[in-house]
Structure 1
Amino acid sequence: MKAAQIQKYSKNIEAQIVDIAIPSIKDNEVLVKVKVAAINPLEILNITGSVKLIQDYGMPLVLGNELTGIVEKVGNHVYGFKVGDPIYTRLPIEKIGAFAQYVAVDAKSIWHLPKNLDFVTGAGAPLTGLTAYQGLIEELEAKKGQTVFIPGGSGSFGQMAVPIAKAMGLKVIVSGSPSAKERTLNAGADQYIDYTKENYWEILDEVDFVIDTLGADEFERELSIIKPGGRLLSLRTAPNKQFAIDKGLPKWKQIIFGLVGSKFDKKAKKKGIQYRFIFVRADGKQLEKITKIIEENNIVPAIDPTNFTIEDINEALNLVASGHTKGKVVIKF
């Protein structure tokens, strides 16, 4: 089968197309024939080795974290899935490989494709959906009636996070580009701040939570609008000691992440705020809950219109690296 892999970590954003064997499955796994795989900024981090302290991969590595496909074979201990079922998944962090014609995946990491999505739009849903779900429920422990602000939330993450947050009964505020205003309000946002006209830190005050999609440069501005006792959750800034403890990482990694995140922890603590970092994991049971939200709210992720196949993998990777996408970039098999 064709697959896109790297032979080593590298600053060059490129992968090689190779022919490798179709994987065999264990009793707890299913073999999935991949229909569409999504390309995320996480792929760039995997290529460059930027997240190897969180997850260090053996080489060569087949890339790709998120896909839709059809179940081709079912392991002896797998229930709830049969050959022919359309599924979607964020692959387990320790065993990625979506950029291939077939993938063996733990059945606990997959769920049935939402009825309102096809293989293309479905590929844009699991990773951001799980990030939003785990962020709101596990990291922020958000409760009905509280307020969450998502700076830069007009992209693919916001598309999933806004309706999930609304389904939980939260007040949702988003900042982003003027072109995404209508779409984001239609998705359920209560307030939209056009960053070309207004500064969110001059408008907002005393919010319960911020989910940061922009990174370290925004940290102090984001802190300034959170009420004491609130939390700042980042998808971008830096892992900290709490993240390492929650992930069950070894002591030496807890020390390293403690050092890396200490300046952010200190700044947050000074204001009576907790700083959290998230690296989303696979979870089929959570995908089941997300599927209900997707279907009930008819959430359809925006997909970049550029047509890519596995042969165009490097063009697709570089489009994602450029940041100039018009929705989730996908490759079709």
Structure 2
Amino acid sequence: MKAAQITGYSKQLNVAVAETAKPQIQPNEVLVRVKEAAVNPLDLMNIDGSVKLIQNYAMPLTLGNELAGIIEAIGSKVTNFVVGDAIYTRLPVIKIGAFAEYVAVSSAAISQLPTNLNFKTAAASALTGLTAYQALHEELHAKAGETLFIPGGSGSFGQLAIPLAKAMGLTVIVSGNARAKAHALASGADQYLDYQTENYWETLSQVDYVIDTLGATELAHEFSIIKPGGQLLSLKAGPNKQFAVDYGLPKWKQLLFGLAGAKFDWQARQAGVTYGFMFVRASAEQLREVSSVIENNNIVPAVDSKTFTLDEINDALRYVKEGHPQGKVLLSF
């Protein structure tokens, strides 16, 4: 089978499409024929080694974190799926590989396709859906009646975070570009700020939670609008010591991440709030919860009109990095 692989971490986009053996499944796994795989900023981080202190991969590494496809074989201990099932998944962090014609994946990481989605839109849903679910339920422990702000929430993360947050009873405020305003409001956002005409830090205050999608340069503004005792959770700025502890990393990494995240923790203390960082994991149970919200709200994530084949993987990665896509970028098999 064909698979898009790297042989070492690199700042260059030199992913190669190689011929590899079709994977053999373990008793708890299924073999999936990939129909669509989503290309994410996380894939760029897997290539350049940005997250190797969190998860360091053996080489060669088949890239790709989320997909939709059809089950072609089932392990002896798998009882809740059958051959022919259409599934989607955020692959387990320790065993990625969506950019391939076939993938062996644990049944504990997959879910049936939501009934209102096809392979393309489902492939665009798993990673962001689980990120939003884990952020709201596990990291922030958000409660009905509280307020959430998502700066830069007009992208693929916001597409699922907004309705998931609304389903929990939160008031949701989003900032982003003007062209995404109507879609965000239709998804359930209570307030939308156009970042080109409004500075959110001059408009908002006493927010319970911020989910940061923009990175370290924006943290000062984000901290300034959170009420005392509130929380900021970053998807981009970087880990701190608490992340390393919660993730079960060894002591030397806890020390390293403690040093790297000291500035973020200091900024948070100055504002009277807490700082956190997260790295999303696979979960079939949570993906089923995400599916329910998708179906009940008829959420159809945006997919960019420009699609790529596996042989065009470097073009797809470059487009994600530099091309300002309007929705998830997909590899179609």
Q: State if a TM-score over 0.5 links the two structures.
A: yes
1:5 maps to a residue whose letter is Q
Residue 286 of structure 2 corresponds to 286
Q: What letter matches 1:123 in structure 2?
A: A
Q: C-alpha separation between the residues in 1 aligned to 2:69 and 2:147?
A: 36
3-state SS of 1:182 partner: helix
Instruction: Kindly state the Cα deviation for residue 304 of structure 1 after the two structures are TM-superposed.
Output: 0.6
Mapped to 1, the partners of 2:127 and 2:49 lie a distance apart of 20
Q: Which residue of 1 aligns with 2:140?
A: 140
Contact kept? 1:14, 1:317, Cα under 8 Å? no
What is the correspondence of 1:1-333 to structure 2 with a 5 Å cutoff? Answer: 1-333=1-333
In 2, distance between residues paired with 1:93 and 1:217?
27
CA distance in structure 1 between the partners assigned to 2:176 and 2:307 by the alignment: 26
Task: Report the secondary structure of 2:117's partner residue.
Answer: coil
Contact map agreement 1:38 1:330 (CA 8 A) in 2: yes
Q: Report the secondary structure of 1:37's partner residue.
A: strand
Q: CA separation in 2, counterparts of 1:305 and 1:327? A: 8
TM-score (norm 1): 0.99
What code does the residue aligned with 2:27 have? D
For the residue of structure 1 that corresponds to 2:94, the secondary structure is coil
Take 1:92 and 1:273, find their aligned partners in 2: how far apart are those partners?
A: 31
Question: Aligned letter for 2:167?
Answer: A
**Shift in Å at residue 13 of structure 1?**
1.7
CA–CA separation in structure 2 for the residues paired with 1:284 and 1:246: 21
CA contact (8 A) 1:148 1:211 kept: yes
Once the 2 structures are TM-superposed, how far is the Cα of residue 323 of structure 1 from its aligned partner? 4.9
Distance 1:182 1:267 in 2: 34
Kindly indicate whether the alpha-carbon contact (under 8 Å) linking 1:152 and 1:175 is maintained by their aligned counterparts in 2: yes
Structure 1 residues 154-188: Cα deviation after superposition (integer angstroms, max 9, x where no partner): 00000000000000000000000000000000000
User: Paired residues, what number?
Assistant: 333
SS for the counterpart of 1:318 is helix
Q: Distance in 1 between matches of 2:76 and 2:244?
A: 34
Q: Partners of 1:199 and 1:323 in 2: how far apart? A: 25
8 Å contact from structure 1 (residues 150, 212) kept in 2:
yes
Please tell me the root mean square deviation across aligned C-alpha atoms, in Å.
Answer: 0.6
Hey, what's the Cα distance between the residues in 1 that align with 2:242 and 2:72? 40
| SS class of match (1:196) | coil
TM-score for the superposition, normalised by structure 2: 0.99
SS where residue 93 of structure 2 aligns? Answer: coil
Measured in 2, the distance between the counterparts of 1:171 and 1:14 equals 43
* SS of equivalent to 2:17: strand
SS in 2 for 1:50: coil
DSSP-derived class of the 1:94 partner: helix
Cα deviation for residue 79 of structure 1 reads 1.7
The alpha carbon displacement at 1:14 in A equals 2.7
Q: CA deviation at 1:267?
A: 1.2
Identity %: 62
Is the alpha carbon distance of 1:34 and 1:79 closer, same or farther for their aligned partners in structure 2, counting shifts above 3 Å? same
Please give the secondary structure, in 1, of the residue aligned with 2:158.
Answer: helix
| Matched letter for residue 25 of structure 1 | I
Where does the alignment leave 5 or more consecutive residues of structure 2 unmatched? Answer: none
Q: What secondary structure sits across from 2:211 in the alignment? A: strand
- Write out the 4+ residue segments of structure 1 that deviate beyond 4 Å after TM superposition: none
Shift of 1:270: 2.1
Amino acid at match of 1:48: D
